[in-house]
Amino acid sequence: MADPTAPRDDLDLPVRLGPRPPRRVVSLVPSLTEAVAATAPGLLVGATDWCSHPADLSVTRIGGTKNPDVPRILALAPDLVLANDEENRRPDLDALRAAGVPVWVTDIRTLDDAFRSLHRLLTTACGLPRPAWLDEAEAAWASVGSGGAPPEADGPRTVVPIWRRPWMVLGRDTFAGDLLRRLGLRLVHADHPERYPAVPLPELLACQPELVVLPDEPYRFTAEDGPEAFPGTPAALVSGRHLTWYGPSLVTAPAVLRHALDHPLGPGGPGSPDAS
């Protein structure tokens, strides 16, 4: 029977933490890795192969977000594993729980979700003081806009591909979409039934977007790979870390993203048309 006094994660699942704050944490999410490392550098003992920040992170690598090495994680004897409902597979998390490891799962769909979730993860799950960078991130975004009146009402109609071959775009209910909306963009697929729909390129072009936003992750769009598929449409190349990560990158994200959006490549970008 679950402990009724145990704290609950973002999925409202009880997480049975020990009598003392965790001292050995494994993170299965790059942005959560950066959040913990920036707050308590010595707490992390394991992280995924994709955890690239901070650059000097020196911990055991335990595989990818979708294919973590569960035995290797268990060998690290973690007090807590940090995960995300979208990034990580539930069978892997269930295997860790079955082995007696507490797992804290985040579920972040908006900027407000991110601020609430990060506060609880760091203070409740990890037993840390609220970090100054989280206050700085909230202040940075407070000057941009809120979740109330839609600031994007007069903004450009925007398509945001996240993958190519096949083309996939931001749809409804996404963290990255919420950030772009706050920065004044109107996402063409914001009301799509799927969160990350696959949309053929001819259909994307038929939407007649006024701007295409191309992040460098998960697919690495570049000036030579992506803009040429949208002839006649300005293309903004943006940092995927600042668009999709929820952690210390949120402090500078408004300025970094705004600069990229205000300085798009000319219609079509370099290269020749390519409808692949």
Q: Is the pLDDT of residue 200 over 60?
A: yes
Alpha-carbon span 187 to 175, nearest angstrom:
13
Mean of the per-residue pLDDT values for the chain? 93
pTM of the model: 0.90
What is the tens place of the pLDDT at every residue in 6-36?
A: 899 999 999 999 899 999 999 999 999 999 9
DSSP bridge pairs for 68: 63
Q: Which residues contact 89 (CB under 8 A, 6 or more apart)?
A: 66
Size of the chain in residues: 276
Q: Quote the pLDDT of residue 145.
A: 61
Q: Quote the pLDDT of residue 266.
A: 78
What is the tens place of the pLDDT at every residue in 79-136?
A: 999 999 999 999 999 999 999 999 999 999 999 999 999 999 999 999 999 999 999 9
What is the tens place of the pLDDT at every residue in 133-150?
A: 999 999 999 988 654 445
Q: Quote the pLDDT of residue 274.
A: 40
Q: Quote the pLDDT of residue 273.
A: 40
Residue ranges with strand state E in the chain:
25-27, 44-47, 60-61, 80-84, 103-106, 157-159, 161-163, 168-169, 186-187, 211-215, 235-238
Domains of the chain: 25-130 (3.40.50.1980), 147-262 (3.40.50.1980)
Q: Quote the pLDDT of residue 193.
A: 96
